[in-house]
Amino acid sequence: MPNETVKERLAHDVGLWLSDGLVSKDTHDLLRQRYGSQAFGIAKAVKSLGVAGGIVAFFGLLGLIAATSGSRTFVGFLLLLSGAAIAAAGIRLSSDKLGRYPTSSKALLCLGVVTAALGIGAVINALGANDQSTLFLTGILVVVPAGILAYRFKNSFLLYLALIVFFHWVGSWTDMYGRSTYELAIDDPRLMCFAALAAVLVGLYHERSLREQTVRFYQAYEVMGLMYLNLSLLILTVDPPGGTREQTLWVGLWFIAALLQIIAGALQHNSLFTGFGVTAMAINSYTRYYEDFWNRMHKGVFFLLGGAVLFAAGALCEVALRRSQRGPA
Amino acid sequence: MSVKLNRRINAELDALVAQDVLSPREARRIAERYPTTPWDMLVLVRWFTILGAVAAGAGAIILAKEYVKAIHLAELGLALATVGLIWLGRHLARAKGLVKTGAALEMAGGFALQGVIFVLAIDFSHGSKNWPALVGIQSLALAILAYALKNRLVLIHAGICFFVFFGGESGYDSGWGAYWLEMTYPIRFLAMGFVFLGAAWLHAAVLKRACQNFSRVYAHLGLIDIHFALWFLSVFGYFSRTVRWNASDGERAAFSALWALVSVFSLWLAGATGQKILKSYGMTFLIINVYTFYFQFVVDRSGSLWWLHLLLVGGSLVGLGFALERRLRRPSESAPLAPSS
């Protein structure tokens, strides 16, 4: 019989086999039973409820702080104490001897840390720090303890949270302007590129050397790192720091970065890299299609030649693949 | 590590063949997804050919707009390109075994067919300027081509044309750094989304092998339509052609709640059916919904108690997760104790 990792992966993929026409409905149903997909589904449902509840409650806490601007010190301490209590409850339940709360205790611990972090931020803000200093100081005080708790209790929610705080600390910012416009800004996208690359490298190290001890932590580093790397490069292509003279350079760099991500995905057998690379290349091409900076070169020639080269590379790869498959026979 | 895991999966596929659960052909096609070679070459083949064909098609259209003045020449050239690309694609797939390259060439043939229809419309125009109908005709022609060729990439192209025909539009404002998405008649999109989900189920469970792999395309199309429609309705309230900016608070709150319900139902359904796609859409759009709700109601009205609603709903969901897990993992009282070794 296959081990748990294989069963978990196949339970996950059987649905795709059906929708991609690789197996019939009857075979799909049989394989779902074989790999215990029912239990898999329930564990995922509990996890999803925890994540969904945590997200909703997080925005509720932000609203609480916004609504109580007159007594922020009091609210800050209240949140800090509540957060500590919730986190302690999460820790206690995660070590339940009957093992009844392995998933939901993680959501509780994460919510506790979020509540305490918001409390720290509110107190710092109430002491007179401006918004930027508040974010900077809160980041310093929160990222490390959150990271330690994440590793101690193998809590990937918390690691994602710590990484989001870290990237906001480096200089990321999001908002909703008016009724229907979402905004994203990065203070220094070049600096963010280095921070994001570092996160990707840490992820690769976890994937190769620490996977047994840290389970899926590598995914958190790789997802957040690749996301911020591509967002930073997107901003650099749209609004280059050196003005429009540098635009071609950043556009080219982003295409190369996307290409490298696709190649890294193929080399590492890692669909995360492939997915981010393909998305980055598609967004870069889509943006360039509408861009006005083409006065110095011909947009049509660029797309036709670039596309033809890429297509030829794909066709050559398939020829090589077919030859390698015929070779050993 | 992945290669190691893929080797184990390949061994399991061999076992499934030995037990007559899978046919050798099924196992071989599935095994292509779990390569044990140092490079996953299939990933490079798939994405280089698709991205290359789309980019080259866009480049050809830009150049044709600028340089091909003689309209009949364009019709002839595009018609020849349609036939030639499709023939070449099928030839490479059948004679040389280059299935992915062939499929991408057929998709490029679909782009050329779209071009033929555009040029013919210009040639025989009566001045109606009903361009959405033209895109609708292109979508239908591409869908027929997709079924004739049994090509999923052509069906995706048809789906994108359908989205535009039905009232969806997207673009980018150069100089503003702003991407935009527009939609008219979102209720129609919502209804059509469920029709597409039905088509996805039909292709997966009822129709046999030839078109079964169209199921995932319809599932994506259906889920995108449903979530985009609810997104627009939760931001603007009910509208048909043009959006409203005032007096829609109640509608926006109600549509936000409906959207959240759809997302949570989607998460549940993902567990029940094993379809990962439902979970991905459910979670992504739940986050977008709550983020939007926060700015629409909590930030905009910090004096009122919307944050308390979020705390209560969020806390309840976490509590529900706890209760569910406690119930499911409760040790059975009648179960015998494990022997101590």
| B2 contacts A314? CB cut-off 8 A | no
Per-residue pLDDT of chain B (341 residues; tens, 9 = 90+): 578 888 899 999 999 999 888 989 889 989 988 888 888 888 888 889 999 999 988 888 777 777 766 667 778 888 999 999 999 999 999 888 888 899 999 999 999 999 889 888 888 878 777 888 899 999 999 999 999 999 999 999 999 999 999 999 999 988 788 999 999 999 999 999 999 999 999 998 887 667 888 999 999 999 999 999 999 999 999 998 888 887 788 899 999 999 999 998 898 888 788 888 998 999 899 889 988 988 888 777 766 666 677 777 777 777 777 777 777 666 555 444 444 33
Q: What residue type is assigned to position B120 of the chain?
A: L
pLDDT value of position B341: 34
By C-alpha distance, which of A208, A233, A232 is closest to A221? A208
pLDDT value of position B336: 47
Separation of alpha carbons A194 and B304, rounded Å: 42
CA A321 to chain centroid, in Å, comes to: 32
A4 CB burial (10 A radius; 0-12, 13-18, 19+): exposed
pLDDT value of position A37: 62
Residues of A in contact with B264 (CB under 8 A): 52
List the 127-166 stretch of B: residues with Cβ below 8 A of A: none
pLDDT of A90 > 60? The answer is yes
Separation of alpha carbons B187 and B198, rounded Å: 17
Residue listed under structure tokens 């066709």: A315
Q: Are strands A172-177 and A181-186 parallel, antiparallel or unpaired?
A: antiparallel
What is each CA distance from B174 to A237, A238, A292, A300, in whole angstroms?
A: 11, 8, 6, 17
| B56 contacts A41? CB cut-off 8 A | no
- The answer to whether residue B41 neighbours chain A at the CB level (below 8 Å) is yes
- Give the tens place of pLDDT for each residue, A239-294: 888 887 888 899 999 999 999 999 999 888 888 999 999 999 999 999 988 887 77
- The answer to whether residue B330 neighbours chain A at the CB level (below 8 Å) is yes
Q: Other CB atoms closer than 10 Å to residue B30's CB: what's the count? A: 22
pLDDT value of position B274: 80
Q: Mean pLDDT: which of A83-97, A140-154, A249-263, A289-303 is highest?
A: A249-263
List the 203-222 stretch of A: residues with Cβ below 8 A of B: 207-208, 211
Q: Of B47, B177, B317, which has the smallest distance from its Cβ to A56's Cβ?
A: B317
Q: What is the mean pLDDT of residues A59-79?
A: 75
Q: Residue A39: phi, psi to the nearest 5? A: -65, -40
Q: Which residue has the higher pLDDT, A85 or B221?
A: B221
pLDDT value of position B106: 94
By C-alpha distance, which of A53, A278, A139, A144 is closest to B264? A53
pLDDT value of position B338: 44
pLDDT value of position A140: 86
- The answer to whether residue B31 neighbours chain A at the CB level (below 8 Å) is no
Q: Provide the angle, in degrees to the nearest 10, between the axes of the packed helices B131-149 and B99-123.
A: 150
Tell whether the torsion through CA atoms of B58, B192, B270 and B11 is positive or negative: negative
Give the largest CA-CA distance in chain A: 77
Q: Dihedral, CA atoms, A187, A193, A198, A204, nearest 10 degrees?
A: 130
